[in-house]
């Protein structure tokens, strides 16, 4: 990767102009697995051939079959092993995190992973630069949770981050220290403030927004799901397909137009619970009857202050694709992940 170490302006992509070596931190998460599978299938990112992939998480991540070498490394992000970011790394996807409700419940764990873990990533990048490498591109998953404003908010690209939860505060803080490291020439940052990603495959996680996937995924499996927010609640969401597309675009894009502002609000879609359930009914009639209205004040206290929509104009000027219609989000889950989710749960 060829870089200019002033004000974080980096225009080129790939260490030798012709190939790219990638490391995914948090590779066992569903986005990490999807990015790895996509790279393995296509063998390219940003029209450059992938020549190596490193997968890092707490436990060793299963390796997809690929035409290029893949290594899997297990360890703790806070004590990031040197082998997690090999010397020839061009692009790092920093996806590892303690998610919203868990970070709120366990302050120390969230602080260690979301802040100290990000420090460790910066140190890993500095080692590459100190050894004579150009700064690696770092694609960081920040979050809509780093903002507040609530149901009436439609935020512009220059809106201030005023987090109303620990997870959002930690993500906003991580953006700042990564952006400063980018300015100093230790790395080349693109931070994506992802919307809530739905429909997530597998099982529910400890994110406060997990129910937004569950109220679609569980009924498609024939299982009940709890809905802790009213039908009129509005959320800023995106599909896994679109999130993966955005992340890979961030890994390969020309960052010379970004200047010091290395954070992007991607162009998600704003939807109410009622519209989500209506789309579910169109895909599988009768499925929404399995959604059970419940009350959860802890979730309401976290999500009630998240903004309901963003303008996301800057993202489109930087080449991030606009979002597909809501019904296609649910259809994509059926096509991509429903069978695998059934198998994971032993539902044959």
* 167 labelled catalytic: yes
Q: Which member of 93, 140, 167, 246 is catalytic?
A: 167
Position 277 pLDDT exceeds 80: yes
Instruction: Spell out the domain ranges in the chain.
Output: 20-147+155-195+239-264
β-pairing, 137-143 vs 188-194, is parallel
**pLDDT of 3-16, one tens digit each?**
333 334 444 454 44
Average pLDDT over residues 29-57: 97
Average pLDDT over residues 253-273: 97
Average pLDDT over residues 144-165: 95
Query: Which of the four pLDDT bands, split at 50, 70 and 90, describes residue 340?
Result: very high
**What letter would DSSP give residue 232?**
T
Computed over every residue of the chain, the mean pLDDT equals: 94
Query: Which of the four pLDDT bands, split at 50, 70 and 90, describes residue 249?
Result: very high
Half-sphere exposure of 173 (CA within 13 A, CB side): 17
pLDDT value for 13? 55
Average pLDDT over residues 201-216: 92
Beta strands in the chain (DSSP E): 20-25, 44-45, 48-57, 70-74, 91-94, 137-143, 154-155, 188-194, 196-197, 225-227, 234-238, 263-264, 269-272, 291-293, 309-310
Q: Is 324 exposed, middle or buried (0-12, 13-18, 19+ CB in 10 A)?
A: middle
**pLDDT of 123-141, one tens digit each?**
999 999 999 999 999 999 9
**pLDDT of 18-38, one tens digit each?**
899 999 999 999 999 999 999
CA-nearest of 310, 308, 307 to 162 is: 307
Give, in degrees to the nearest 5, the angle at Cα 212 between 308 and 299: 75
pLDDT value for 17? 60
- Classified by CATH at the fold level, domain 20-147+155-195+239-264 comes out as Rossmann fold (3.40.50)
pLDDT value for 246? 98
The number of beta carbons lying within 10 Å of the beta carbon of residue 329 is 25
Q: pTM of the full predicted structure?
A: 0.93
Beta-carbon contacts of 4 under 8 Å, excluding residues fewer than 6 positions away, are: 10, 11
**In the block, residue with structure tokens 């569950």:** 214
**What letter would DSSP give residue 88?**
T
**pLDDT of 315-336, one tens digit each?**
999 999 999 999 999 999 999 9
């Amino acid at each position: 990767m060829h870089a200019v170490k002033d004000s974080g302006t980096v225009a080129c992509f790939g260490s030798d102009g012709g190939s790219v070596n990638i490391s995914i931190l948090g590779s066992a998460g569903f986005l990490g697995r999807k990015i790895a599978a996509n790279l393995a299938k296509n063998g390219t990112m940003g029209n450059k051939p992938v020549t190596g992939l490193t997968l890092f998480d707490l436990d060793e991540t299963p390796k997809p079959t690929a035409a290029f070498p893949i290594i899997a490394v297990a360890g703790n992000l806070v004590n990031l092993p040197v082998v997690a970011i090999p010397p020839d790394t061009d692009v790092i996807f920093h996806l590892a995190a303690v998610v919203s409700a868990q970070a709120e419940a366990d302050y120390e764990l969230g602080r260690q992973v979301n802040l100290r873990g990000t420090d460790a990533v910066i140190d890993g990048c500095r080692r590459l630069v100190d050894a004579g490498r150009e700064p690696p591109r770092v694609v960081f998953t920040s979050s809509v949770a780093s903002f507040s404003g609530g149901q009436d908010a439609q935020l512009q690209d220059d809106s201030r981050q005023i987090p109303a939860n620990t997870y959002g505060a930690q993500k906003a803080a991580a953006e700042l220290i990564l952006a400063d490291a980018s300015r100093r020439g230790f790395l080349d940052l693109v931070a994506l403030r992802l919307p809530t990603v739905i429909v997530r495959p597998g099982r529910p996680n400890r994110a406060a927004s997990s129910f937004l996937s569950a109220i679609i995924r569980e009924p498609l499996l024939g299982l009940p799901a709890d809905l802790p927010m009213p039908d009129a609640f509005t959320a800023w969401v995106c599909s896994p397909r679109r999130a993966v597309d955005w992340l890979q675009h961030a890994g390969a894009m020309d960052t010379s137009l970004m200047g010091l502002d290395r954070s992007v609000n991607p162009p998600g879609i704003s939807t109410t619970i009622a519209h989500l359930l209506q789309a579910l009914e169109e895909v599988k009639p009768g499925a929404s009857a399995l959604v059970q209205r419940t009350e959860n004040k802890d979730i309401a206290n976290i999500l009630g202050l998240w903004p309901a929509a963003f303008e996301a104009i800057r993202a489109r000027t930087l080449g991030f694709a606009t979002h597909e219609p809501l019904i296609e989000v649910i259809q994509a889950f059926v096509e991509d992940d429903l069978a695998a989710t059934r198998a994971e749960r032993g539902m044959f």
